[in-house]
């Protein structure tokens, strides 16, 4: 029986044309984030299953690729529960591994610690445009900084990186988990039902206000409370300043200082930004991870029609590992979606070296072949990218293929003469 040549569903082979762009994007990301003081780290792709299923990852905990125990530890015959079979899983994001890393190594790290992590993650999700079961994430996080300086730095670093990649006129949607909870309290929802309310609210962009209203009432919430809740969103949209309007309405339910903190983040970013984008307060922004404790934000790009990254503050997560809470905040670029948009827009790497192809006739060998390779080495030393290959019978088709790969100059070597 022939082996299967297609990748596993939801995963893909990456061709050279895309790989060139991916490498370039990673280079821009690393160079720009380094200017903001972020340093690279790496964590294993496999995490202990208890770390991945600690009720911090929201819906992603249902999408884990779980790993069976190995060797003598795997006892299929006597297993009664999943815990008897599974002890690890492929990471579904980079935040859980980062927090474990920090908890294990904090004594050797500066304070605050500014981390950059780029790596693949895995989710058993339904594949669609820009969404795969294996995909690259690119995160920056600041651990140990309690003030909103962390949010400001993260947003500026991320948006300036997107600007260097040619993106503009995108939105950074921003909200606060404490505002979300205060709105739910103001409407009279039971505190134990907040997560259910937020899951429904998160669908606002897909099902609209009417859909959210119907779903909340179907779940058994008091109709008057649902109406009071949705009036907040309608009033915010009609007002000239949605943040100010909502905070005024819910002031008796909201912690002191939340409005000033969020306003300072928005104003600071707007006054110092280097890329073309807009900061937009969005009271419907939820973010799926239950580990968020404060500010949350998301990148919205019109070209994609959805989120191209996001993040927020998660001050309680380190404490799950160490028993002592450490302030933490992070921002993740939607790497795969950014690359997809660049490919769809016909993006060409601006710093690509000159590409030269040396086509060598089959009969060229010995001393003559050494001369050709020596010439190629000189061109490489001068910064050119040189491909040395044997000449095909159908030379015209061969050159067309190479031109599609970006080769602009050709040198043809025959037994008797050189043609350029």
Domain spans of the chain, in order of start: 16-344, 355-419
Q: What distance in Å separates the CA atoms of residue 123 and residue 1, rounded to the nearest whole number?
A: 30
Dump strand ranges (E) for 237-379. 277-281, 295-301, 306-313, 328-333, 355-360
Which pLDDT score is estimated for 289? 64
For domain 16-344, give the CATH superfamily: Bira Bifunctional Protein; Domain 2 (3.30.930.10)
Which pLDDT score is estimated for 417? 64
* Full-model pTM: 0.87
CA distances from 153 to 33, 50, 107, 314 (A): 10, 32, 24, 16
Which pLDDT score is estimated for 84? 73
Contacts of 231 (CB under 8 A, 6+ apart): none
Q: Are 296 and 285 in contact (CB under 8 A)?
A: yes
Q: What distance in Å separates the CA atoms of residue 140 and residue 123, rounded to the nearest whole number?
A: 20
Give 395-398 contacts, CB < 8 A, sequence gap 24+: 395/359, 398/359
φ/ψ (deg, to 5) at 244: -65, -40
Q: What distance in Å separates the CA atoms of residue 180 and residue 285, rounded to the nearest whole number?
A: 9
Residue 310's nearest CA partner among 319, 300, 301, 298 is 298
End-to-end alpha-carbon separation of the chain, Å? Answer: 48
pLDDT tens-digit profile, the chain (420 residues): 789 999 999 999 999 889 999 999 999 999 999 999 999 999 999 999 999 998 777 778 888 999 988 777 777 766 667 777 888 999 999 999 999 999 999 999 999 999 999 999 999 988 888 788 999 999 999 999 999 999 999 999 999 999 999 999 999 999 999 999 999 999 999 999 998 899 899 888 889 999 999 999 999 999 999 999 999 999 999 998 999 999 999 999 999 999 999 999 999 999 999 889 999 999 999 987 678 999 999 999 988 777 899 999 999 999 999 999 999 999 999 999 999 999 999 998 887 788 999 999 988 888 889 999 999 999 999 989 999 999 998 999 999 999 988 898 999 998 776 555
Which pLDDT score is estimated for 128? 82
């Amino acid at each position: 029986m022939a082996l299967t040549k297609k990748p596993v569903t939801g995963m893909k082979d990456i061709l050279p044309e895309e790989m060139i762009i991916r490498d370039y994007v990673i280079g821009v990301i690393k160079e720009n984030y380094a200017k903001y003081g972020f340093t690279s780290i790496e964590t294993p792709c496999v995490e202990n299953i208890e770390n991945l299923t600690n009720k911090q990852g929201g819906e992603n905990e249902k999408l884990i690729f779980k790993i069976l125990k190995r060797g003598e530890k795997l006892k299929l015959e006597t297993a009664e529960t999943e815990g008897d079979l599974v002890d690890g899983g492929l990471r579904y994001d980079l935040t859980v591994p980062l927090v474990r890393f920090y908890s294990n190594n904090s004594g050797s790290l500066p304070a605050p610690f500014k981390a950059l992590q780029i790596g693949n993650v895995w989710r058993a999700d339904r594949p669609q445009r820009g969404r795969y079961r294996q995909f690259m994430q690119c995160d920056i996080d600041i651990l140990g900084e309690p003030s909103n300086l962390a949010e400001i730095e993260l947003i500026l670093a991320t948006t300036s990186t997107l600007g260097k990649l040619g993106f503009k006129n995108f939105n950074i949607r921003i909200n606060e988990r404490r505002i979300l909870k205060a709105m739910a309290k103001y409407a009279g929802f039971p505190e134990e039902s907040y997560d259910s309310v937020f899951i429904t609210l998160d669908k606002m962009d897909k099902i609209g206000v009417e859909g959210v209203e119907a779903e909340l009432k179907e779940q058994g919430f008091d109709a008057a409370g649902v109406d009071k809740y949705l009036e907040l969103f309608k009033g915010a949209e009609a007002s000239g300043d949605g943040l100010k309007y909502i905070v005024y309405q819910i002031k008796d339910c909201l912690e002191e200082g939340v409005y000033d903190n969020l306003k300072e983040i928005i104003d600071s970013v707007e006054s110092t930004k280097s890329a073309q984008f807009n900061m937009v307060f969005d009271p419907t922004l939820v973010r799926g991870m239950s580990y968020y404790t404060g500010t949350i934000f998301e990148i919205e790009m019109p070209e994609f029609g959805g989120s191209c990254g996001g993040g927020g503050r998660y001050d309680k997560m380190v404490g799950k590992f160490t028993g002592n809470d450490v302030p933490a905040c992070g921002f993740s670029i939607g790497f795969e979606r950014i690359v997809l948009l660049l490919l769809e827009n016909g993006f060409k790497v601006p710093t690509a070296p000159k590409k030269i192809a040396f086509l060598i006739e089959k009969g060229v060998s010995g001393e003559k072949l050494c001369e050709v390779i020596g010439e190629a080495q000189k061109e490489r030393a001068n910064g050119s990218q040189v491909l040395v290959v044997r000449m095909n019978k159908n030379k015209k088709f061969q050159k067309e293929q190479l031109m599609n790969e970006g080769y602009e100059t050709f040198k043809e070597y025959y037994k008797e003469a050189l043609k350029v």
